């Protein structure tokens, strides 16, 4: 029986994966680095210490990883201040599920970006807790961020449903033992074998209802 629902943020509630891609690629190119063709796919789900280290080691940025992370976050915040890229149906889906269960966010986004989303979307009171992967030992596909969300919710991971879009996110939710709900990211679609980890595969957030999860 489901007792709580855990949302990913980027690609599930915000149409932001390509924004991350644009911001990080622009920074790398501005500073004379190299942008691997698979950079965004490699970084999806990584925690900020992990992806900033990747940009330092693999993309050739000279700055320390913590400075890289801070610069990317500031640019992302500027983009969100200009336009918060909410996905269609995101607020309605959160409202529907919050009426039935406690909710959490388990995101690879940095803490300031999670806070910016909560305030700009005016949904802070609908989430019992939020977790950034920078607050746990390892980012997705490790299950750490989902396990920490369940711990803060005081619910067993196996009693949680997790809504994810990316391959690494789906793997992380499955590794945590949660009921996996996939809303595949159209920009970076998971492989069929990864989608097979999901109990439900959605075409839109309009399909995400308490009745679906209770079934």
- Please state the domain extents for the chain: 4-15+85-214, 17-82
- What pLDDT is recorded for position 187? 81
CATH 3.40.50.1000 correct for 4-15+85-214? yes
pLDDT, tens digit (0-9, with 9 covering 90-100), for 34-47: 998 888 878 877 77
Comparing 189 with 160, the larger pLDDT belongs to: 160
In this predicted structure, what is the pLDDT of residue 211?
A: 97
For the chain, give the mean pLDDT.
94
CATH of domain 17-82: 1.10.150
pLDDT in tens, 61-81: 999 999 999 999 999 999 999
Sequence-distant contacts of 80-86: CB under 8 A, at least 24 apart: 80/113, 80/116, 80/117, 80/120, 81/116, 84/14, 84/116, 84/117, 84/120, 84/121, 85/14, 85/15, 85/16, 85/19, 86/13, 86/14, 86/15, 86/121
- Whole-number pLDDT of residue 63: 92
**Percentage above 70 pLDDT, the chain:** 100
Q: 37 and 31 in contact (C-beta within 8 Å)?
A: no
């Amino acid at each position: 029986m489901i007792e709580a629902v855990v949302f990913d943020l980027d690609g599930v509630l915000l149409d932001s994966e390509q924004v991350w891609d644009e911001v990080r690629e622009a920074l790398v190119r501005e500073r004379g680095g190299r942008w691997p063709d698979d950079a965004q796919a490699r970084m999806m789900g990584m925690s900020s210490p992990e992806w900033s280290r990747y940009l330092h080691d693999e993309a050739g940025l000279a700055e320390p990883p913590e400075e890289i992370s801070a610069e990317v976050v500031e640019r992302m915040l500027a983009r969100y201040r200009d336009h918060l890229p909410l996905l269609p149906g995101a607020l309605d889906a959160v409202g529907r599920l919050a009426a039935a269960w406690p909710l959490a966010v388990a995101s690879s986004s940095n803490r300031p970006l999670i806070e910016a989303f909560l305030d700009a979307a005016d949904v802070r009171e609908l989430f019992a807790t939020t977790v950034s992967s920078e607050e746990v030992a390892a980012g997705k596909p490790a299950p750490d961020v989902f396990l920490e969300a369940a711990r803060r919710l005081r619910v067993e991971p196996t009693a949680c449903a997790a809504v994810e879009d990316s391959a690494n996110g789906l793997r992380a939710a499955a590794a945590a033992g949660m009921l996996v709900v996939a809303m595949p990211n159209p920009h970076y679609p998971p492989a069929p074998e990864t989608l097979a980890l999901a109990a439900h595969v959605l075409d839109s957030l309009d399909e995400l209802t308490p009745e679906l999860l209770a079934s």
